Amino acid sequence: MSDSTTILESNTKTDTRFPIFGQLDSKEHEQIVLCSEPESGLKAIIAIHNTTLGPALGGARMWPYANEQEAIRDALRLSRGMTYKAAISGLNLGGGKAVIIGDPRKDKSEMLFRAFGRYVDGLGGRYITAEDVGMSVQDMEYIYAETKFVTGIPKALGGSGDPSPVTAYGVYMGAKACAKKVFGSDSLEKKKIAIQGAGNVASYLADYMSKEGAKLYVSDIYEEKAEKVASETGAEVVDPDDIYSLDVDIFSPCALGGVVNDDTIDQFKCAIIAGGANNILDDEAEHGRLLMDHDITYAPDYVINAGGLINVTGELEGYDSERAHKKASRIYDTILDILTFSDENDTPPYAASNILAEERIRNVGRIDSIYTSQSHFSNRKGEIYMRDRN
């Protein structure tokens, strides 16, 4: 047997044990990029799901993943969600996401983020990054030093800064839309709401809801963060393990995803699940249907938390805070449309949202057959962004 044959068989066996291409195919991804720079400690994954509507835009998340496969899985799920988020929100963007493997409390450095920025720049605009879990505006500034394909940069540099306020506003409006559908009124006054997480989005969301007179409960794995939100909004702090089973009107997960799963599905005593986290359903098809069977109204996460994407997209056009909030307020109508479609077609809200998003991608994709005198990036916001930043 020749050496080349041995190598071929070895590679085939490796692919079988770790089927990266299989994972890409299963969710219809276009590309995955593995980034490594030992001097800075960078280990990152960039996943590009779909660029039919425009360049892939999605945040970079920093998290201490247990292993590389877990990180890849997260990148793939999150990037797919960004495609649907942009489509359902009427944005001319595709879906992408990046994850940086590391502890955001101790592994950050200027060199790590600048190295990541160079990998982003090497993609030539196919992927535009932004701030996500574990990242800050300062981190984005380091990335910006190496690439123009970044949003969520400080306001002093012409960016929008922290997108959390607009993300939270969109979640707030989406929760009100769910309340309108379920209770007949979108008022949150005296409604009991459990917020899981006490990060930036959760903090702003709690503020919006408390000002409307809601009774809030908050939990976080870092108790001091929950205590801070409680002191500012009058919320009651609860143990993270108890947040699922509270007898409330609305459960709002605003931390990591996968919180609606086999272990939690029977604990819920709420009428609505509407939160800012990504990939709230551990298994979209199974748990989306189970929530419907349990008579729990679910606001598809990538729709209700689209305010952050709407906010950073504004940077590609010239940022205006009032315009960003106005666009985010339309999440209210989008959620109502999805819930109405869900009822009329007896399909879970997540599936209704997917159908509507996929329909827009197909329709816009059809016009690619029409030749224009400009480049194939004609009318994409990424091109506007590139021109303005040169």
Q: Return the active site residues.
A: 97
Beta bridge partners of 153: none
How many CB atoms lie under 10 A from the CB of residue 21? Answer: 11
Sheet holding 272-273, edge to edge: 236-237, 215-219, 192-196, 250-253, 272-273, 297-298
CB burial of residue 374 (10 Å; 0-12, 13-18, 19+): exposed
Lookup result for tokens 């500012």:
232
CA distance from start to end of the chain: 56
Q: How far apart are CA 376 and CA 305, in angstroms?
A: 30
Beta strands in the chain (DSSP E): 31-37, 42-50, 56-63, 94-101, 127-131, 192-196, 215-219, 236-237, 250-253, 272-273, 297-298
What are phi and psi for residue 152, nearest 5 degrees?
Answer: 80, 20
Q: How many other C-beta atoms can be found within 10 angstroms of the C-beta atom of residue 362?
A: 11
C-alpha span between 140 and 129 (Å, rounded):
9
Distance of CA 95 to the CA centre of its chain: 10
Nearest-angstrom CA–CA distance, 106 and 380:
38
Whose tokens are 């809200």? That residue is 349
Count the Cβ atoms, other than its own, within 10 Å of residue 369: 6
For 61, counting Cβ atoms within 10 Å of its Cβ (0-12 exposed, 13-18 middle, 19+ buried), the class is buried
Q: Please, are residues 45 and 28 in contact by the beta-carbon 8 Å criterion?
A: no
Burial of 31 (0-12, 13-18, 19+ CB in 10 A): middle
SS3 label, residue 80 = helix
